[in-house]
A and B are shown apart, each in its own frame.
Chain A
Amino acid sequence: MKTTFSLALAGMLLSTTAALADTTITIESWRNDDLTVWQQKIIPAFEKEHPDIKVKFVPSAPTEYNAALNSKLDAGTAGDLITCRPFDASLALFKKGQLADLSDMKIMSNFSDVAKAAWQTDDAKHTFCVPMASVIHGFIYNKDAFKDVGIDAAPKTVDEFYADLDKIKKDGSYTPLDMGTHDQWEAATMGYENIGPTYWDGEKGRKAVIAGTEKLTDPQFVEPFKQLVKWTDYMGDGYKAQTYPDSQNLFTLGRAAIYPAGSWEISVFEKQADFKMGAFPPPVQKAGDQCYISDQPDHALGLNAASKHKDAAMTFLKWVGSQEFAQIYGNALPGFFPLTKEKVTIKDPLANEFLSWRQSCKPTMRYTYQILSRGTPNLENALWAASANVMNKTETPEQAAEELQKGLASWYEPQQK
């Protein structure tokens, strides 16, 4: 009797391990640039500890990700783990019941409230994604080019910034400022929202727009547009048809001096560029002013509520919240900065330069992301078009600001007063 029981038990155990060994979880993501890093560094590290779980990373193109993911979730064909966009896109999925509530996970205590804010309900009661990384905006420059032209140090103020650009332009061997407006989003993300916080005092301005006490037509929100117009004098011939990959290639081929950047470029650039690179934060208006950086919560990982492999997926999520993961991730993808409270050492010097600004500058994030892009017209998309129009000179900064304000006020009550 006893033996039959233990045999049955052993059989059950065997069958469960066999079942577990088959478990394959898939991760939905828009980070197709990182595919090899996931396949070669991150997934093997996890599978070494958990040989019974196989992980597949299936990225899609960034701009198509939300649309593709939404249809996959609706159709029930999405992966077990979902890479979460910050704020409303993921919040909407949680509200539809497509992302599971992860508030009770122990590892959530590894993250600060600010880090979690991008993946919580408005009242901060429910958290639905495990924060993975943020990106920091600034400018990457070609150190060799600066030396050639005779610039000793990176610019700190706006005046220095333009003085350096003038020098590079006069020299003529480099495109001074490497950006195009064809794909539109660089103008908004790497242009307007990069330098903007310096003018609207970071978090103060961002929160004031949400509260409705400041308007997008106020001078602090128009001035960054005026700066963008000035930038166009230093941009390459035909910048209107220059695409994002064009800009990346132009810089890594060593033909441009300053690249308005997000830290996610670091790993791509370091692989391709054979010159020394440096970075500087958005220049301040007057020497000694407080500097601001856009430290944007970028991605997190959530659980598909309809997943068939919840246990395996939760095991992976727990690992994503650990210090060990942060250490691997932050170093495998320099430029994506872990959001964990625990100590993580980043070895990459350029990434460390970006990271050091967290100490000297006040961090904020892209103001369009929280709450303000919930309605129609969508403020984020409108900002892309507005920034590109201003740089293409089809709209004046004032017109662009006016239009953004009109669009926002058409559906956002606090701005209607």
Chain B
Amino acid sequence: MAQDRKPVRWHVGVFLAPAVIVYTAIMIVPLFATLDLSLYEVRDKVAAFVGLGNFAKLFGDPNWSGQFWNALWNNTWFFVVNMAVQNPIGIGLAALLSSNRLRFAAAYRTAIFVPTILSFVIVGFVWKLILSPLWGIAPDLLKSVGLRHWFAPWLGDPHTALTTIALISVWQFIGIPMMLIYAALLSIPEEVIEAAEMDGITGMSQFWRIKLPLILPSIGIISILTFVGNFNAFDLIYVAQGALAGPDFSTDILGTFLYRTFFGFQLQLGDPNMGATIATVMFAIILVGVCVYLFGIQRRLRRYQF
């Protein structure tokens, strides 16, 4: 019977087309072009296919692998600091903001969120000035509380530079977890809270036992956003420490390593093929990280329906 045959649903394709075309043109094609670029090497002006040769060079040639592992390790530390400092403080701030007893909550919320919308260039420049041993206010502030000897040229010391930069990044982005968690906390229905209060769970234990489990999915999302953001990071370090990510490459992360390799720096000439190789490895790292989260963690999170 003709009625049973479903008509071809042209409209589905028509409605999908704009997004698919735009996404393909500006995301998928460049992504595969990058993967493709990493399989070639320029010899005498001609691109020659070398298979995984560039990857062998990146991991096998000590000149490359030394820099790569250094950048990866620094990147991991950058991520660890961000995870360990930014997210707990963000959750704490959100919990404080959502408290009914807090006055001027809107003012605090705005003030804490503002750095997030500032440009990296401004953040890097301002913090460089604040921490400058010559004209910064950090040494004077410490002096006024009698702790001048605590001050060190943090951005210039290979042991402290990366952590300092990571903390600047935390300062800048603390608003994001705060806002997300704040929204999640507000969406918890009053009935649940009231029920808890009837059972005598109030104050801190209410936060730990009732609210925290309910906002866990949001924390998961924030973690994955932090992970992706940190492993793609570049701007702040480039602005504050330059493309050589000094001192002594101690703040060199995958993004700055990629930039130097791809575009070149000072007398070092750019090498798009090796650059694409590093970009591919970065892509793989982020892909693996996201998959681990999606399949390993998110599926096991319990969700509550209200």
A-side interface residues toward B, CB under 8 Å? 63-64, 66-68, 70-71, 85, 88-89, 92, 96, 180-185, 236-243, 246, 249-250, 368-369, 373, 376-381, 384-385, 388-389, 392, 394-395, 407, 410
Q: A236-B134, A240-B153, A243-B128 given as contacts; is B247 within 8 A of A66 (CB)?
A: no
Q: How far is the CB of B216 from the nearest CB of chain A, in Å?
A: 40
A243, B132: Cα distance in complex, Å:
9
* Contact yes or no, B267 A70, CB < 8 A: no
Nearest chain-A residue to B154 (Cβ)? A241
* Contact yes or no, B156 A242, CB < 8 A: yes
Among listed B17-25, B30-38, B227-235, B258-266, interface-contacting one = B258-266
Instruction: Please give, as numbers and ranges, the residues of chain A lying within 8 Å of B248 by CB-CB distance.
Output: 385, 388-389, 392, 394-395
* Contact yes or no, A242 B63, CB < 8 A: no
- Interface mask (B223-249 → A, CB under 8 Å = 1, otherwise 0): 000000000000000000111101111
A378, B265: Cα distance in complex, Å:
10
B156 partner, pick from A369, A378, A392, A407, beta carbons under 8 A: A392
Instruction: Please give, as numbers and ranges, the residues of chain B lying within 8 Å of A181 by CB-CB distance.
Output: 156, 247
Interface size class of B (residues with CB under 8 A): 35 or more
How many A-B residue pairs lie within 8 Å, measured between CB atoms? 127
Beyond A240-B156, A240-B247, 7 additional contacts (C-beta under 8 Å) are A64-B243, A373-B267, A376-B268, A384-B244, A385-B244, A392-B157, A395-B248
B243 partner, pick from A63, A237, A241, A392, beta carbons under 8 A: A63
A92, B242: Cα distance in complex, Å:
24
* Contact yes or no, B133 A238, CB < 8 A: yes
A67 partner, pick from B157, B242, B263, beta carbons under 8 A: B263
A64, B156: Cα distance in complex, Å:
21
Q: Give residues of chain B (128-149) contacting chain A, Cβ–Cβ below 8 Å.
A: 128, 131-135, 139
* Contact yes or no, B265 A66, CB < 8 A: yes
A184, B265: Cα distance in complex, Å:
13
* Contact yes or no, A183 B63, CB < 8 A: no
A236, B134: Cα distance in complex, Å:
8
A184, B247: Cα distance in complex, Å:
7
Q: How far is the CB of B247 from the nearest CB of chain A, in Å?
A: 6
Q: How far is the CB of A9 from the nearest CB of chain B, in Å?
A: 45
A89 partner, pick from B63, B259, B263, B269, beta carbons under 8 A: B269
- Interface mask (B157-199 → A, CB under 8 Å = 1, otherwise 0): 1100000000000000000000000000000000000000000
A238, B132: Cα distance in complex, Å:
8
Instruction: Please give, as numbers and ranges, the residues of chain A lying within 8 Å of B63 by CB-CB distance.
Output: 376-377, 407, 410
* Contact yes or no, B247 A381, CB < 8 A: no
Q: A380-B266, A381-B265 given as contacts; is B246 within 8 A of A242 (CB)?
A: no
Instruction: Please give, as numbers and ranges, the residues of chain B lying within 8 Å of A385 by CB-CB distance.
Output: 244, 246, 248-249
Nearest chain-A residue to B152 (Cβ)? A238
* Contact yes or no, B153 A238, CB < 8 A: yes
* Contact yes or no, B157 A381, CB < 8 A: no
* Contact yes or no, A183 B242, CB < 8 A: yes
Complex A-B: 8 CB contacts under 8 Å = A63-B266, A66-B267, A184-B244, A238-B153, A242-B132, A249-B135, A381-B265, A392-B248
* Contact yes or no, A241 B244, CB < 8 A: no
A394, B153: Cα distance in complex, Å:
15
A183, B63: Cα distance in complex, Å:
22
Q: How far is the CB of A276 from the nearest CB of chain B, in Å?
A: 23
* Contact yes or no, A378 B267, CB < 8 A: yes
Q: How far is the CB of A44 from the nearest CB of chain B, in Å?
A: 32
* Contact yes or no, A182 B268, CB < 8 A: no
Asked if B45 lies at the interface with its beta carbon under 8 angstroms from chain A, I say: yes
Instruction: Please give, as numbers and ranges, the residues of chain B lying within 8 Å of A376 by CB-CB distance.
Output: 63-64, 268
Q: How far is the CB of A408 from the nearest CB of chain B, in Å?
A: 11
A92, B269: Cα distance in complex, Å:
9
Q: How far is the CB of A214 from the nearest CB of chain B, in Å?
A: 21
Q: A237-B133, A240-B157, A242-B134 given as contacts; is B265 within 8 A of A183 (CB)?
A: no
